[in-house]
Structure 1
Amino acid sequence: MLAITTIIAALALAANQAFAAPTEISQLVARQGYVANCNKTYSVVSGDTCNAIIGKLGNTFTLEQFYSWNPQVASDCHNLYPGETVCVGLAPAQPACPAPTQPGLVSNCVACYKVVEGDYCYAIAQAKGITVANFLLWNPSVNSACTNLVIGYNYCVGV
């Protein structure tokens, strides 16, 4: 009987430790985690739910965004604990092409080229392994004759 009581007590202790809320800050940070480009955080208080946090911050983001920024938060939000830190905002995406650029550069650009003296569309396209048609499509400010490239400006050469 003593062996059964000892086993039951050990199981109860293990279950309590496995399901207990974290109590130290180091446990909270390690348990949760959020996306690397998070630039705004919120410290959870007692009674908070995911929707309550969103509401407290003026409904400036959606529940779907909250979950994507905090991948370890359960989809029913049951695993938020007072004192833990969650992400509530992302750093703005950096443009693929640093300034200066011409207006109209495609938003999904992933590769850029800085024009130097003597450049022309065909040479840039050849060097970057793209077509002139795509270069013109991705850089709508460039005219079809390619006579208005601006030295020192960045142009999209990949999407």
Structure 2
Amino acid sequence: MLPITTAVALVLAAAHSVFAAPVADVLVARQGYVAQCTEIYTVLAGDRCIDIIAKYGSAFTLQEFYSWNPQVNSACTNLYIGQQVCVGVGTTPTGCAAPTMPGLAAECTSCYQVVEGDTCWVVVAKTGVTLGNFYSWNPSINADCTNLLLGYNYCVGV
């Protein structure tokens, strides 16, 4: 018979392997920012709220950061690597609602939000744009189209 502490440790280890949701060997970070967010930042190792604000030239205050990111606590002790936080609000210059990837065509007039199962080829088939245009309007997409992000908006018309 195993001691109780060993049995508990085995159960916890088994539960973690069953219930954790790894993506590329890391857990998916929770999201939660205001709907009018127009610019997103992905948290890096060692980031603190004041560091993120400094990266944007103090274009916004700590109070604004907290109001845009209600999931971040007032001590800023619950940021996680890979978590997306809002660093700007208003209307996007492209007309696409956030979240969008960097480099989106400035003259974009039509956007598509990626859903489960989408690939670049599925998106162009659904929207009628050419694959070449889709890539040129969305330069953040890699050549193999393996980095489309679920829920993100991509340009499908200029």
TM-score (structure 2 length as normaliser): 0.46
Kindly name which structure, 1 or 2, has the bigger radius of gyration based on alpha carbons: 1
Say which structure is richer in helix: 1
